[in-house]
Structure 1
Amino acid sequence: MLRNDMRLLTHLRHVDLAVPDYDKQLDFYAGVWGLTKVAEDSGISFLAAEGSPEQYVVRLRKAEEKRLDLISYGAATPADVDTLAERLLAGGVQLISRPGRADTPGGGHAFRFFDVDGRTVEVSADVAARQHRRIEEKEAIPVRLSHVVLNSPDLERTRQWYERHLDFALSDTLNSPQAGDVLHFMRINRRHHSMGLAKGPHTSLHHISFEMRGLDEYMRGSGRVMRAGHRKLWGPGRHLAGDNAFTYFLDPHGNTVEYTTELEELDEDTWHPHVYDFSKPEVTDQWGTANAMNELIAKESFNDVDRGVFIAPPV
């Protein structure tokens, strides 16, 4: 594993989805979910969070098959992007593109590659910042993208790949007496996790999480989505690992999306990962306010088999 002072990723930028019913998905994310459409061109749209300097946090692309197009992370400089690309090549990682000018809002210097499960990952630097603003009290829209959780059929292999090649560090693990390790929380900065890796039957997206201003805004937003008739999977509650609030919903195509707030920030020099027993209700929800986690809820977040594995998105 790389030393922390050699870590080249800085933060999560955006998550890109391909969707069969494009108009319905766009209405959801730019409507009740509270993102802002900032650009659109022939079946592809870019959605920003008002409190984030990222040009966009979700990209939607009209496609015949539902898939995760890519996950994008930031690096500090173009030189870091180039260095990471060379490291990955030397480590036998399959590059989709070499570092070069990004043809997306904000531009930048970027490249793409496949992770061990065949997901497309992008790393970029020098992306122009979007003019953003402070989210006001009682304004129940996402401040920023919080994290993404991915399903993997070989949890330990995927964890080790991200540690070795991208210098993710383990924050905490959920474990059950029956199933063993079921979820690893992985970080690239002080935030408890930018990515989670979940044990699933196939490679797919588990959920995308959006940070709200605070607990009041998180509850108001959760209530708005519930009143709009979208299916609530789980919540409201508060996890033990990460200490963040959660409410999970299904978007119109069955992707799980989360409102969260108050995710823990760690002292990376002194932090030691915990192993929490996922079967204990106080681990999944400290408050005791969420509906009980069960197999049906878990299966919803397994999502459909991702049809984009080891197939680069067209854009």
Structure 2
Amino acid sequence: MAFSPITHIRHFDIAVPDFDKQVEFYRNHWGLTVQHDDGDVVYFAAEGSPEQYVTRVRRSTDKRLDLVAFGAADRESVDTLAQDLGAAGVKIVSEPDALQTLGGGYGFRFFDLEGRTIEVSTEVEVRKHRKIEEREAIPVRLSHVVLNSNQPEAMRSWYEKHLGFRLSDTLNHPHAGDLFYFMRCSTQHHSMAIARGPHASLQHASFELRGLDEYMRGSGRIIRAGYRKIWGPGRHAAGDNTFTYFIDPNGNTMEMTTELEMIDEDSWHPHIYDVQEPETSDQWGTGGDMDEFITKEMFNDSDNDHLFVAPPV
């Protein structure tokens, strides 16, 4: 696909068994704002983002990634994408129509190559948002989502072919091959990435803070609250962004970041970074080496039982 109908990432939605603790984590510690709460589903906004919500938590006996949602420019883009996906044999979950979730809009859902539910929408009501002030250590917006896959090469090709994502950079091991594909739908270095793992799952979700000071203050707040930090603070080579990774109450990995690289589409050439070089994972050398323990934490629980099964909301 020469042109991507996708403009940006909107939100990622999860279902969790320990619902109350997840809600407390996002609301009282991570710095998100409850936009709507119906008792079994809570929508969380980022104060600096016009998106109605950047994540949604659903009460469930099962843990799963419910869906990942992306924006499109207009109805024509949504309709054309739905037609093209259907013609290519992609399983459509719901045809383009008025959305019944918070903020409304017009969109549709479908399954990706591995059976995750993906939503593409337009005309979602813009949320009243504000400028995040200096030293205000709360998320400005959702930065990106990373998906684990045991067939990352095929996943990369699928997202390039069907959704128009472009490859920004690759993490490679000389013996194990490609481990990580950073994918973009705009001038932001990546809005999603695909990581090599043993199964389909959410690898991590990342939230952008205002700047370095706010990022460090936010990281420190989560550490002081007693949540487990598995990696960071540091700065990656690919994307040139900072990172601190934490484990949330349901075992998902959540990242605080800032200063993700913006790229020039006309001049950018993807890099291949050798993960054996310490600077690839952390240019600063402050976060510690990426090791087997961290990798296994980010494998997360398998979503295999929930693939090709759309969430109820």
Q: Does 1:234 align with 2:231?
A: yes
Match of 2:294 in 1: 297
Report deviation, 1:237.
Answer: 0.2
Find the counterpart in structure 1 of residue 310 from structure 2.
312
- Helix, strand or coil for the counterpart of 2:30? coil
Cα-to-partner distance string for 1:186-224 (whole Å, 9 max, x where unaligned): 000000000010000000000000000000000000000
Q: Which residue of 1 aligns with 2:158?
A: 161
Task: Give the distance between the partners of 2:22 and 2:268, measured in 1 at CA.
Answer: 39
Structure 2: distance between partners of 1:33 and 1:279 = 32
- Residue 51 (structure 1) aligned to one of 43, 48, 53: 48
Residue-by-residue CA offset, 1:62-88 (whole Å, 9 max, x unaligned): 001000000000001111111110010
Q: Could you give the per-residue CA deviations for residues 169-200 of structure 1, whole angstroms, max 9, x where no partner exists?
A: 00000001231100000000000000010000
Query: Which secondary structure does the structure 2 equivalent of 1:182 belong to?
Result: strand
2:196 match:
199
Question: What amino acid is the match of 2:311?
Answer: P
Range moving further from structure 2, 172-181 or 197-206: 172-181
Residue of structure 2 in register with 1:280 after alignment = 277
1:92 matches 2:96 = no
What does the per-residue CA deviation read over 1:139-163, in whole Å, with 9 as the maximum and x for residues that have no partner?
Answer: 0000000000000000100000000
Tell me, in whole angstroms, the C-alpha distance in 2 between the residues paired with 1:61 and 1:216.
32
Pairing 1:263–2:260 present: yes
What is the alpha-carbon distance in structure 1 between the residues aligned to residue 34 and residue 51 of structure 2?
13
Identity of aligned residues (%): 62
CA distance in 2, matches of 1:255, 1:42: 22
Per the alignment, residue 71 of structure 2 pairs with 74
Look up the SS of the partner of 1:32 in the other structure.
Answer: helix
TM-score w.r.t. the length of structure 1 is 0.98
Q: Deviations over 1:10-37 (max 9, x none)?
A: 0000000000011110000111000000
Write the letter of the residue equivalent to 2:224: R
Aligned position for 1:120: 117
Instruction: Tell me, in whole angstroms, the C-alpha distance in 2 between the residues paired with 1:24 and 1:134.
Output: 28
Which 4+ stretches in 1 moved above 3 angstroms?
none
Cα deviation, residue 42, structure 1: 3.1
Does the alignment pair 1:101 with 2:107?
no
Q: 177-186 vs 54-63, which deviates more?
A: 177-186
List alignment gaps of at least 5 residues for structure 1. Answer: none
Is it true that 1:42 corresponds to 2:3 in the alignment? no
Give the TM-score of the pair, scaled to structure 2. 0.99
Q: Which amino acid aligns with 1:251?
A: D
Gapped regions of structure 2 (runs ≥ 5): none
- Amino acid in structure 1 at the alignment position of 2:210: R
In the alignment, the residues of structure 2 paired with residue 262 and residue 42 of structure 1 have an alpha-carbon distance, to the nearest angstrom, of: 35
Question: Are 1:177 and 2:156 counterparts?
Answer: no
The Cα of 1:115 is off from its aligned counterpart by 0.2
Separation of aligned partners in 1, 2:243 and 2:8: 21
Residue type of the alignment partner of 2:310: A
CA–CA separation in structure 2 for the residues paired with 1:126 and 1:82: 13
CA distance in 1, matches of 2:28, 2:101: 23
Quote the offset at 1:275 in angstroms. 0.3
